[in-house]
């Protein structure tokens, strides 16, 4: 009778351990089940070899995808740098052209309206976009 009570207590503790650590139990039981299903040891070796081969293929695919991603990022960064440089160059060229055009137009306005400072101020404001007040 005492041994039966001790055995029941052991089973309850074992069940509590299994509920807490079910992942370990499941992880240990899967290879055992595979070995039982596979039957022969040579089949198990073939199965393990196949699993290893599939794993290596998957790692290979992941590595290639990672390398491609890095190459794409580097290409995008290179294109970005080239685009920024081209835009900056175009901006500088256009700015210089606009500055020289504005200077010529301002000189023309001053020479045409030498006797009318209000008109000069108004037209220069229109060209430059600045509010100019003459007192």
**C-alpha distances out from residue 36 to 40, 45, 48, 93, 117, Å:** 8, 13, 14, 79, 104
- Structure confidence at residue 27 (pLDDT): 84
pLDDT in tens, 44-73: 677 778 888 988 999 889 989 999 999 988
> For the chain, which residues make up each domain, given as ranges?
28-128
Cα angle: 62, vertex 64, 69; to 5 degrees: 95
**Range of weakest confidence among 4-13, 76-85, 90-99:** 90-99
**What are φ and ψ of residue 91, in 5° steps?**
-60, -45
DSSP assignments along 55-108, one per residue: HHHHHHHHHHHHHHHHHHHHHHHHHHHHHHHHHHHHHHHHHHHHHHHHHHHHHH
- Percentage of the chain surpassing pLDDT 70? 82
Condensed to tens digits (0 to 9), the pLDDT of residues 105-126 reads 877 877 777 777 777 778 777 7
Phi (first) and psi of residue 61, to 5 degrees:
-65, -40
* 0.75 surpassed by pTM: no
At residue 64, the pLDDT reads: 92
Residue 113 contacts residue 120 (beta carbons within 8 Å)? yes
């Amino acid at each position: 009778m005492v041994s039966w009570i001790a055995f029941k207590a052991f089973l309850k503790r074992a069940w509590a351990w299994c509920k807490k650590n079910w992942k370990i139990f499941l992880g240990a039981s899967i290879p055992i089940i595979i070995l039982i299903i596979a039957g022969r040891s040579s089949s198990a070796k073939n199965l393990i070899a196949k699993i290893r081969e599939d794993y290596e293929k998957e790692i290979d695919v992941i590595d290639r995808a990672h390398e491609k991603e890095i190459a794409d990022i580097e290409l995008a960064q290179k294109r970005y740098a080239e685009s920024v440089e081209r835009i900056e160059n175009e901006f500088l060229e256009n700015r210089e052209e606009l500055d020289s055009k504005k200077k010529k137009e301002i000189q023309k306005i001053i020479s045409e309206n030498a006797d009318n400072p209000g008109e000069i101020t108004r037209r220069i404001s229109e060209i430059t976009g600045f509010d100019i007040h003459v007192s």
